[in-house]
């Protein structure tokens, strides 16, 4: 069994015969050794570790449930099963789990039971993981003759630490040194279908088992190759530090075994990933594998690439969002030094030059007029009014039942990643190469191919590390433009959006308006919870819908739009609040929008958490105790308890200062923040301390997890207090970080504590989890510090 391989039990010594060859160097590479490539069969990755791990809480059997869903895979079915949960005797096994949990909640009076929401039984991450399963075996891990373990990652690294986490998984299961693992980003691979979308906090969830399985399979082959070489039973060999070790002390490095291992047809030892109690890399705080490249300036982003002949290019853009060119006189610009060309493209006028400075100066010299864009008649107040009007009415009239209403506005918010959108394109007759930071390279490849009139396979998308994203790089605006310009100009180009370009024409989290009504009984029990969200339509056209369809979710059967399906798969009220209903209404405006870190939860759940605070105060209860009594599940209560204890919840605060809490669960994890905020100057509030407690199931790199939760804290401080975008007559007012006031050093607390709870299950997604809870904690602290009811965000806007 596996344990015997990894840590051989004492037993008879291996046969004492002389080795066929000296142990090192061995085996001599007769010729340039081919790398061994490991891929895995789909059956290998049927998740089997979700229940019954020692020391881990039993889970709901989600994956088994999904298997069930595969046979009848529609949202309609999931919703129907939720209702069926009231009759467990006739329900299939997985549904019984849900029913049992629901029944357990009945022991927490005086709440009415809520029906499980869709994310209780299947959430976005499950859906994406499911969509990825058929192609999971196409992940490739190579062990090279030079001893490198190379996992070519079909995802994007934008700072979330995915390459480090994946390298850790490989090091873990291969028993390789972390420094021997490389995780390059894969070019777009259309055969991966939905398995190359970086988004929805699904990467770790969808890759954890396949990468572990691939590395374990590679290790089994390396061990087998060493056993054959030494003529020893494979079961007596160990692996450590990128080498196979014999009981007599002989050692052979993975690199030297790579060629022989490639010829191993059937491994002689099991290729099973380690059980949780044997993990030594996973769960150990680890520094980023690219940290040294970053601090020395060697880390290369798209703008730093040296693609031969790619000339600096910028684009003159309309005066209003999605405006169109009315007239152009480029004569002065063309005559300027260094200018290499001026090209009209659908989104504006591109200027090519020898340097970006010359391109920018020539852009300024273009004489252009523009037709107003489709929203030029709208400003912020108009859009807010449209959102207010878009809500369907509340279902439950309050009658004689006491109720609490809240209405909330959230402004547009630019993604504002530090690295502006940049793409290199080299379009030649019959083919094209494009380099950029792509969250959805296959969709980009399809779109660029269609634009150029090329077959998809003639376009190569080279995925380059990104300088932040927060959802922005789901879209490939700059890459499409670069392809258009390169084709028109007949030369490779390096096209860059300026900061002002991205602020004025880039994508934003859409503005939203929320109407929330909670009814409650005489003892403070919540009887119903209605949330009506109205947003400017979020552009989700980056392959998500295709992935959901690929996973078997036919949204049209349920009469849902893609956005509504996404909303239903992600939005979940974690409390027993009677009968919750949540509806999304979209207002279609021709504006550049997109998913912004945590998508709908970043507003929906923030409004809910503010309402939870207000409801607690209305009914004379402590805000933390009020939540605790209503949280479904012990894991969430442990998180809330931890943050309250470590944060010293309830400690006396001076006038004008207060604590605030926020809680959220999503992506297979749960998190709470407690912040302390000084609003002595109400116009200049500052978060002075923050404590976070988090349970993501299992943290691969606790240090990376802490980094993500620090980032989402800063997001919460920013978008609740100061950072947002105004729309004035169809144009974005802000132009840079000078007026888009994302937090700086002085806006963030000197002290941030993050407490990780012990592993509770399989790894969840961590990149977006914290946003809603952090936002809510900041908003709630402000409310408590000032005695106000904040309704419109950002507050100082």
Partner 1 sequence: MPSHTFVLNGRPVTVEAPDDMPLLWVLRDKLGVTGPKYGCGVGVCRSCTSHLDGEEFQPCTRTVKDCAGRSVTTIEGLATGDTLHPVQEAWLACDVAQCGFCQPGQIMTAVALLRRTPNPTDADIDRIQNICRCGTYPRIRAAIKLAAARRPRA
Name the residues that contact partner 1, by CB under 8 A. Answer: 158-161, 287-288, 290-301, 303-304, 306, 312, 337, 354-358, 360, 416-420, 465-470, 496, 498-499, 703, 707, 710-715, 736-738, 742-746, 748-752
Nearer to partner 1, 41 or 418 (CB): 418
Cβ proximity to partner 1, 143 vs 690, nearer residue: 690
Minimum distance between the CB of residue 58 and partner 1, rounded to whole angstroms?
34
We find the least distance from the C-beta atom of residue 355 to partner 1, in angstroms, to be 4
* CA within 13 Å, CB half, 256: 15
What are the structure tokens assigned to 66, written together?
């999904």
Cβ closest to partner 1, residue 266 vs residue 295 = 295
Query: Quick one: 331 or 736, whose CB is closer to partner 1?
Result: 736
Residue 781 backbone phi and psi in degrees, to 5 = -65, -40
Q: Which residue's CB is nearer to partner 1, number 477 or number 586?
A: 477
The CA-based dihedral angle spanning residues 476, 482, 488, 491, taken in that order and rounded to the nearest 10 degrees? -140
Distance of closest approach, residue 715 Cβ to partner 1, in angstroms = 7
Q: Which two tokens stand for residue 383?
A: 């859009």
Of 354 and 405, which has the nearer Cβ to partner 1? 354
Nearest approach, Cβ of residue 743 and partner 1 (Å): 7
Contacts (Cβ under 8 Å, ≥6 apart) of 512: 387, 409, 410, 533, 534, 535, 536, 603
The minimum distance between CB 596 and partner 1, in angstroms, equals 12
What one-character DSSP code corresponds to residue 397? Answer: -
DSSP tag of 236: G
CB 671 within 8 A of CB 663: yes
In the complex, the smallest distance separating the C-beta of residue 775 from partner 1, rounded to whole angstroms, is 13
Minimum gap (Å) between residue 500 Cβ and partner 1 = 8
User: Using an 8 Å Cβ cutoff, are 532 and 392 in contact?
Assistant: yes
User: Which of residues 436 and 567 has its CB atom nearest to partner 1 in the complex?
Assistant: 436
Pairing status of strand 686-695 against strand 751-756: parallel
String of DSSP letters for 19-81: -SS-SSS-S--SS-PPPEEE---GGGGS---SS--TTS-----HHHHHHHHHHS--HHHHHHH
Residue partners of 257: CB distance under 8 A and separation at least 6: 27, 143, 222, 225, 226, 229, 244
Name the minimum Å distance from CB 754 to partner 1. 10
Residue closer to partner 1 (CB basis): 144 or 712: 712
- Our CB check for partner 1 shows the closer of 135 and 160 to be 160
Q: Which is nearer to partner 1, 258 or 411 (CB)?
A: 411
* Least Å from the CB of residue 466 to partner 1: 7
Angle subtended at Cα 727 by Cα 725 and Cα 372, rounded to the nearest 5 degrees: 135
| Rounded Cα distance, 300 and 579, in Å | 51
For the chain, how big is the Rg over CA atoms in Å? 28
**Cα torsion 644, 647, 648, 651: sign:** negative
Cβ density class 343-382: b for 16+ within 10 Å, e for less: bebebbbbbbbeebebbbbbbebbebebebbbbbebbbee
Nearer to partner 1, 373 or 749 (CB): 749
Q: Which is nearer to partner 1, 53 or 504 (CB)?
A: 504
Query: What is the smallest separation between the CB atom of 38 and partner 1, expressed in angstroms?
Result: 30
List own/partner pairs for 352-357 with CB under 8 A and 24 or more apart. Answer: 352/311, 352/312, 352/313, 352/485, 352/489, 352/491, 352/493, 353/311, 353/312, 353/313, 354/311, 354/312, 355/312, 356/312, 356/314, 356/496
């Amino acid at each position: 069994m596996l344990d015997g391989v990894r840590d051989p039990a004492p037993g008879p010594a291996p046969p004492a015969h002389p080795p066929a060859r000296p142990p090192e160097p061995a085996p001599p590479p007769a010729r340039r050794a081919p790398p061994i490539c490991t891929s895995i069969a789909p059956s290998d990755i049927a998740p089997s570790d979700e229940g019954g791990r020692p020391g881990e809480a039993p889970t709901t059997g989600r994956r088994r449930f999904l298997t069930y869903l595969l046979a009848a895979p529609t949202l309609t079915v999931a919703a129907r099963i939720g209702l069926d949960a009231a009759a467990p005797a006739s329900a299939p096994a997985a549904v019984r789990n849900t029913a049992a949990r629901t029944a357990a909640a009945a022991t927490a009076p005086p709440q009415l039971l809520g029906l499980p929401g869709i994310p209780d039984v299947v959430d976005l991450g499950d859906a994406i993981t499911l969509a990825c399963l058929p192609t999971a075996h196409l992940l490739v891990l190579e062990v090279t003759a030079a001893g490198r373990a190379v996992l070519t990652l079909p995802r994007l690294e934008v700072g979330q630490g995915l390459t480090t986490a994946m390298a850790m998984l490989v090091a873990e299961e291969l028993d390789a040194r972390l420094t021997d693992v490389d995780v390059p980003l894969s070019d777009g691979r259309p055969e991966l279908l939905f398995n190359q979308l970086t988004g929805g906090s699904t990467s770790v969830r969808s890759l954890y088992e396949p990468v572990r399985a691939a590395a374990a399979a590679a290790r089994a082959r390396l061990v087998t190759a060493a056993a054959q070489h030494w003529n020893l039973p494979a079961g007596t060999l160990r692996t450590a530090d990128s080498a196979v070790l014999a009981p007599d002390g002989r050692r052979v490095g993975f690199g030297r075994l790579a060629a022989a291992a490639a010829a191993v047809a059937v491994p002689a030892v099991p290729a099973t990933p380690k059980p949780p109690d044997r993990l030594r890399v996973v769960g150990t705080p680890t520094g980023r594998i690219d940290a040294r490249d970053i601090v020395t300036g060697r880390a290369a982003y798209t703008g730093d690439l040296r693609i031969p002949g790619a000339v600096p290019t910028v684009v003159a853009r309309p005066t209003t969002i999605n405006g169109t060119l009315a007239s152009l006189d480029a004569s002065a610009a063309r005559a300027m030094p260094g200018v290499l060309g001026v090209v009209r493209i659908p989104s504006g006028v591109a200027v090519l030059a020898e340097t970006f400075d010359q391109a920018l100066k020539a852009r300024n010299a273009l004489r252009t007029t523009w037709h107003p864009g489709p929203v030029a008649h709208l400003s912020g107040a108009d859009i807010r009014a449209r959102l207010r009007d878009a809500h369907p009415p509340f279902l439950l009239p309050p009658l004689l039942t006491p109720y609490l209403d809240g209405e909330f506005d959230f402004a547009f918010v630019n993604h504002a990643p530090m690295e502006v959108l940049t793409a290199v394109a080299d379009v030649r007759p019959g083919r094209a190469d494009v380099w950029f930071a792509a969250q959805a390279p296959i969709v980009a490849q399809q779109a660029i191919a269609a634009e150029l009139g090329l077959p998809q396979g003639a376009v190569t998308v080279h995925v380059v590390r990104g300088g932040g994203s927060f959802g922005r790089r789901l879209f490939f605006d700059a890459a499409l433009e670069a392809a258009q310009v390169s084709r028109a100009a007949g030369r490779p180009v390096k096209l860059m959006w300026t900061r002002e370009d991205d602020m004025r024409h880039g994508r934003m989290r859409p503005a939203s308006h929320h109407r929330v009504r909670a009814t409650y009984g005489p003892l403070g029990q919540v009887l119903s919870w209605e949330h009506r969200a109205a947003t400017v339509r979020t552009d989700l056209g980056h392959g998500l819908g295709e992935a959901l369809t690929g996973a078997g979710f036919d949204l049209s059967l349920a009469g849902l739009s893609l956005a509504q399906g996404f909303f239903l798969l992600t939005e979940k009220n974690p409390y027993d609040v009677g009968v919750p209903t949540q509806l999304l209404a979209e207002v279609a405006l021709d504006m550049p929008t997109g998913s912004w870190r945590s998508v709908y939860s970043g507003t929906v759940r923030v409004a809910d958490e503010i309402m939870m605070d207000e409801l607690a105060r209305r009914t004379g209860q402590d805000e933390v105790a009020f939540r605790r009594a209503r949280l479904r599940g012990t894991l969430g209560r442990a998180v809330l308890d931890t943050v309250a204890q470590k944060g010293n919840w309830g400690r006396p605060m001076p006038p004008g200062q207060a604590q605030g809490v926020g809680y959220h669960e999503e992506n297979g994890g749960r998190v709470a923040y407690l912040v302390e905020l000084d609003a002595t100057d109400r116009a200049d509030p500052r978060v002075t301390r923050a404590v976070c407690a988090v349970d993501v199931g299992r943290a691969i790199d606790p240090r990376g997890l802490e980094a993500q939760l620090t980032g989402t804290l800063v997001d919460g401080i920013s978008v609740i207090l100061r950072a947002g975008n105004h729309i004035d007559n169809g144009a974005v007012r802000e132009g840079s970080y000078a007026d888009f006031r994302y937090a700086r050093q002085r806006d963030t607390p000197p002290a941030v504590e993050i407490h990780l709870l012990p592993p509770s299950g399989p790894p969840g997604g961590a990149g977006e989890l914290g946003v809603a809870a952090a936002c809510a904690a900041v908003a709630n602290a402000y409310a408590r510090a000032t005695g106000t009811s904040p309704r419109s965000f950002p507050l100082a806007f």
